[in-house]
Amino acid sequence: MEAFQSRKTWAEINLEAIGHNISQMKQKLPAATNIMAVVKADGYGHGSVPVAKAAIKAGVSALAVALLEEAIVLRQASIDVPILVLGWVAPEDAPVAAAYNITLTAFQTEWLERVETLQMDGTVRIHMKLDTGMGRIGMRHEQEIQSFFAVLKDCPHIQLTGVFTHFATADAADLMYFHQQEKCFEQMLAYVRRNWSTPLTVHVGNSAASIRFPEQMHNYIRFGISMYGLYPSKYVKAEKQIDLQPAFSLHSRLVHVKKVAAGSSISYGGTYIAKQDEWIGTIPIGYGDGWQRRMQGFEVLVSGKRMPIVGRVCMDQTMIKLDQPYEIGTKVTLIGRQNNACIEMDEVADYLGTINYEVPCLISKRVPRIYV
């Protein structure tokens, strides 16, 4: 049963857009390169289970998440494709991963040793992570790989099935560091292949690398932000190498409309004073929904026109200045398209001084996701 919902504020998730973005990406990739859909952080705030199911329908053959618990949520929703956890998981939890047939990321010899001390049914699959310049997690030197293999060969409960790295600047204007990382990875991969004989799945590319260098993506790409219809950066966007459709839009409805006299003060702190008689509308969304206080002064769409946010954004409500009286219940779009007008995620991100990735993650669980 759907949770009871009285408030008319919602995020609309267009699953057809997810399918469109995947097929656009597929067209660019060689036939031998598969797509792993990245649905960490509840599918970048879009909802991991519906997005994962739509992505599988659109032809992706694996999923990636950041946490083991995120992977279990997918398994419990009857999703049975391979799932890779990209982040560090405590070795004590490897038996749980094994039980759910979830692949973990490993890069520490002590992790391997600890896992082998545990009671485990069957084996846990791992992909080894190489740090070629991201500086986050992974092995940075051949020596480390050598020690890793030396321990791993005596680990009957751990099965190495893949190797990967992550780029720090694949979305940048200057690709020098990216190419340096690429070269470093190829060298380390050659070392891995010389010293380990079982077949390994190889993957390197996030959205930016995959869109820019689709021919160099090995067995899989890890397709995140652009699956959701957003460009990894303004540089990638400007290159127009792929046509994406944003899946996320954010809407509310007017709950109150009033005419205020010139000189009237709006919201906490009285930071907005009406310069003339003005129509002011109230919408039931605020920073308690992740619509941040800093959005004061930004705009929303009503009847296909931009209207300014006036006064402070409250926890649960926001006021907007209207060009005329509108009926209670009139739709207000905060992110996305309305008639021929559009407020792009990138515009909201710029206003907040952040990147598009962060914005749908900020929109809290209090805002229901409606799938269309």
Ligand X SMILES: *Cc1c(COP(=O)(O)O)cnc(C)c1O
Asked whether position 246 contacts ligand X by CB under 6 A, the answer is no
Identify which range of 73-81, 220-228, 241-249, 301-309 contacts ligand X by CB under 6 A: 220-228
# of chain residues touching ligand X (CB under 6 A): 12
Residue 136 known to bind ligand: yes
What's the DSSP call for residue 356? T
One-letter amino acid for residue 349 of the chain = A
Closest CB to ligand X among 8 and 237? Answer: 237
Letters for 36-75 (x = contact with ligand X by CB under 6 A, - = none) are --x-x-----------------------------------
**Active-site residue 177, yes or no?**
no
As a 3-state breakdown, the chain gives helix, strand, coil percent values, each rounded to 5, of 35, 25, 40
Enter the tokens of residue 290.
């992740």
Closest CB to ligand X among 221 and 307? Answer: 221
Closest CB to ligand X among 148 and 223? Answer: 223
Asked whether position 166 contacts ligand X by CB under 6 A, the answer is yes
Question: Which of these is catalytic: 26, 40, 53, 129?
Answer: 40
Using CA atoms, how far apart are residues 365 and 29, in angstroms rounded to an integer? Answer: 35
Query: CB of 170 within 8 A of CB of 233?
Result: no
Closest CB to ligand X among 63 and 307? Answer: 63
Asked whether position 133 contacts ligand X by CB under 6 A, the answer is no
Letters for 20-39 (x = contact with ligand X by CB under 6 A, - = none) are ------------------x-
Return the ∠ at Cα 18 (arms to 73 and 9), rounded to 5°: 75
Residue nearest ligand X (C-beta atom): 224
Q: Which residue has the tokens 């599988």?
A: 56
CB of 63 to ligand X, least distance (A): 12
**Active-site residue 40, yes or no?**
yes
DSSP string, 150-192: HHHTT-TTEEEEEEE---SSTTSS--HHHHHHHHHHHHHHHHH
Query: CB of 223 within 8 A of CB of 38?
Result: yes
Cα separations in angstroms, 55 against 20, 37, 203: 10, 7, 18
β pairing state of 124-129 and 158-164: parallel
Enter the tokens of residue 159.
């099965």
Asked whether position 206 contacts ligand X by CB under 6 A, the answer is yes
Using CA atoms, how far apart are residues 320 and 332, in angstroms rounded to an integer? Answer: 10
Binder among 24, 132, 169, 207 for ligand X (CB under 6 A): 207
CB of 286 to ligand X, least distance (A): 28
Q: Which residue, among 270, 277, 276, has the nearest Cα to 296 in the 3D structure?
A: 270
Identify which range of 224-232, 273-281, 284-292, 314-322 contacts ligand X by CB under 6 A: 224-232
Asked whether position 225 contacts ligand X by CB under 6 A, the answer is yes
Active site residues: 40, 268
Binding residues (CB under 6 A) for ligand X: these are 38, 40, 86, 166, 206-208, 222-225, 232
Where is the binding site for substrate, in residues?
A: 136, 315
